Amino acid sequence: MNSKQAIKVVITLLLIVNLLSVYFFDVLTFRTVRAISVLFILIYFLLFTIKDYLILSFVCLLLFADILDLYFDSPLIPEYYFVVKISAYLLLLQRVLKKTNFLNVKIRDVLIVSAIAILNILIGIRSLYQVSLKIASNLELTLLFIYGFVLVLVGTFVANYYFRYASKRAFYFTTFVYLIMFADVSGYVANYFDIYFFNYLERFYYFLGFFYMAFYLIYTNELDDQENKLFE
């Protein structure tokens, strides 16, 4: 088995281990398993000599956030957690900013992305109102709102990037970003609404996101976008 095949097997096994940890163990333990799993993936990427430093930095920030999540109920930890997560997504935004073009996007694509963005904002505002009594400080509530806004912003730009290039690289990038965002939303529901089932969804989306991230890092390069760009 070569290294490219091995990473698929490794992430699949980590996904299974994390789903089982949610079933068999308590919250602190399965959060610890998740953090160790992300550390394992990061080490594997480094050993594989991945040189995409922006994505590696993104993974480091995800790992840092997962470590903070171990102490999420402690004072000020949620604020630090959201700052780290916001920073991570702003890193991804840098990757697609120069590749977006809203002037030549089809009306259909604009309507789809706008509908998704508006729906997410409305759901976010409603859910923030519902959980506001459970949040310890106004700073945490503010950062949670900014975090949600950044998710919508990144989702909009990433969708534009995919619609513009429609390349294999754009597909893998868009898929892993959206899966990790879905994981974050699932984690938000699990934490703030106490719906345990969403912990399973969070792990499923999270490690499936790493699966497509590995495809993006290993099987694509910048030439894919240059060769498949739909319009200038």
Tens digits of pLDDT across the chain (232 residues): 566 678 888 899 999 999 999 999 999 999 999 999 999 999 999 888 788 899 999 999 999 999 999 998 887 888 999 999 999 999 999 988 877 765 555 565 556 656 666 656 655 565 555 565 566 677 877 888 888 888 888 988 898 888 888 888 999 999 999 999 999 989 988 887 888 999 999 999 999 999 999 999 988 776 666 655 544 4
Helices (H), the chain: 3-24, 27-47, 53-69, 77-97, 107-131, 138-165, 168-193, 197-219, 222-228
Domain count, the chain: 1
Please choose, from the candidates 118, 183, 184, 117, the residue with its C-alpha nearest in 3D space to the C-alpha of residue 147. 184
Q: Is the pTM value of this prediction over 0.75?
A: yes
The residue segments making up the domain with residue 205 are 3-228
